Amino acid sequence: MGISRFAKGPAIPALILLLSSVLPAQTGVHSLAARVDRRYDHMHTLQARFTETYTGAGMSRTESGTLLLKKPGRMRWDYGQPRPKLFLSDGQTAWFYVPGERQARRTPVKQLDDLRSPLRYLLGKTKLEKELDGLSLAPDQPPVSAGDIVLRGIPKGMRDRVEQTLLEVTPDGVIVRIVVEELDGSTTEFRFLQQRENVELADQQFRFTPLPGVEVVAGTEFMN
């Protein structure tokens, strides 16, 4: 006889209400993610100022410096404040070095356990929704700048360490802030300022050669 006349009346409006609340949000996520993808697919290099703030274990610290990105897979973080240090990847190998120290740490990028890992998305032809599991809008997280949109997800391969990652995105698809909340309760926030796209960057800027007397050691975690 089909659907009962007693069931179909209230069920259909409820279903319509549910779909109306879910579908627009999902459409918004897909549309914004595609906008971010288009933006970075056409970007070959990026130069920006950054600030990095860590909060956890009863302490807080803020560092700042210059970030350089170049496809494929190259990044350079030059920390200037409060002390100089360098994090560099040539796409195959990642390095961490503090000027004046007698050791430099090196690890294959594929083994890297580092909170800068979500930025590797920007360095290749990939999709944001493939890089962040459970990508969704985060309406409960206010953006720093009015008009921006905040997304949340978990970087692939980091579920055993990361509770969630928030990305603040401008209406035209530029990532201006990344917040990584770890399972241990600590939070690391990156903000990107004065972004300049497709500037000339020499390959040499993404190579690291230890100075004489500097020992190279293996390590999988940098700057924790």
What are the tens digits of pLDDT across the range 97-134?
999 899 999 988 877 766 665 566 676 667 889 888 99
Q: Is the pLDDT of residue 4 over 50?
A: no
Pairing between β-strand 215-218 and β-strand 103-108 as defined by DSSP bridges: parallel
Residue pair 181/163 in contact by the 8 Å Cβ criterion? yes
Structure tokens at 81: 């404040």
CATH node for 10-218: 2.50.20.10
Alpha carbons 181 and 56: distance in angstroms, whole number: 10
If you average pLDDT over every residue of the chain, what do you get? 84
More confident residue, 46 or 222: 46
What integer pLDDT is reported at residue 110 of this predicted model?
Answer: 79
Task: Write the DSSP assignment of 27-95 as a string of letters.
Answer: HHHHHHHHHHHHHHHT-SEEEEEEEEEEEETTEEEEEEEEEEEETTTEEEEEEEESS-EEEEE-SSEEE
pTM of the shown model = 0.81
Neighbours of 40 (CB within 10 A): 22
Q: What is the percent of the chain where pLDDT is above 90?
A: 61
Mean pLDDT of all residues in 187-211:
95
Alpha carbons 84 and 220: distance in angstroms, whole number: 21
Detail the DSSP E strand segments found in 109-197: 132-137, 149-155, 162-169, 175-182, 187-197
What integer pLDDT is reported at residue 139 of this predicted model?
Answer: 94
